[in-house]
Amino acid sequence: MRELLEREMEALRIEILRCTLCGLHKHRKNPVVGEGSLHPKIFFIGEAPGRSEDAAGKPFVGSAGRIFDKMLESIGVKREEVYITNVVKCRPPGNRTPTNEEINACSKYLERQISLIKPRVVATLGSVALRWAGERFGIRQKGVSHLHGKIIHLDADYGRVFLVPLYHPAVALYNPGMINVLLKDIRKILEV
């Protein structure tokens, strides 16, 4: 089973590396597929790669990544114990928000990552990821400002899921006071 999962994830990775389904492929240096444990304690979904992630081909390695690392550290979880990916796998120019067309084109990859990994704890980072998860898991749409730091119990097609909406770590780059909110919210995960 484990080998099959690894093979399917590798096939998916290669598919994403070659993907030209939306216009973002023209601007990217590297698609950011996602990385981490295939049996993760937490499955994190961000919005899209930024400049550093695009250059490295890895998720959350820039300044927002350093805040993300602090969040993980605060709950005693290592990067290799979680899986991290984004709704959209290629960097939107100038770090703009991905369009609905780009999200729709790319959604099938995140859907497959979730179908293969079947995560029990899904943490969304920011409003784009929360909106995507709301549609995927069929919950009523409310914004991250209402739902951050709450635990939403869901019955997914593969079993019980705990959804934990969080702000995107980048909010603390523009508003340093938000780091306390991020750290308080992520501690909620310890309850599940």
- The site for ligand SF4 (CB under 6 A) is made up of 16, 19-22, 24-25, 31, 88-90, 102, 105-106
Q: Where are the beta strands (DSSP E) in 6-142?
A: 35-36, 43-46, 83-86, 121-125
Residue closer to ligand SF4, measured from CB, 18 or 146: 18
Nearer to ligand SF4, 106 or 128 (CB): 106
Shortest separation between residue 98's beta carbon and ligand SF4, angstroms: 7
- Shortest reach from residue 23's CB to ligand SF4, in Å: 7
H-helix or E-strand spanning residue 110? helix 100-117
Q: Which residues of 58-93 are buried (b: 16+ CB within 10 A; e: fewer)?
A: bbbbbebbebbeebbeeeebebeebbbbbbbbbbbe
Q: Which is nearer to ligand SF4, 5 or 21 (CB)?
A: 21
Rounded to a whole number of angstroms, the minimum distance from the CB of residue 29 to ligand SF4 is 12
Q: In a 3-state reduction of DSSP, which class is residue 136?
A: helix
**Number of other CB atoms surrounding residue 184 within 10 Å:** 12
Contact 95, 55 (CB under 8 A): no
Nearer to ligand SF4 among residue 31 and residue 34 (C-beta): 31
Residues paired with residue 86 on neighbouring β-strands, in sequence order: 46
Select 55 or 154, whichever has its Cβ closest to ligand SF4: 55
Type and span of the H or E element at 153:
strand 152-156
CB of 144 to ligand SF4, least distance (A): 22
- Closest separation between CB of residue 129 and ligand SF4, Å? 14
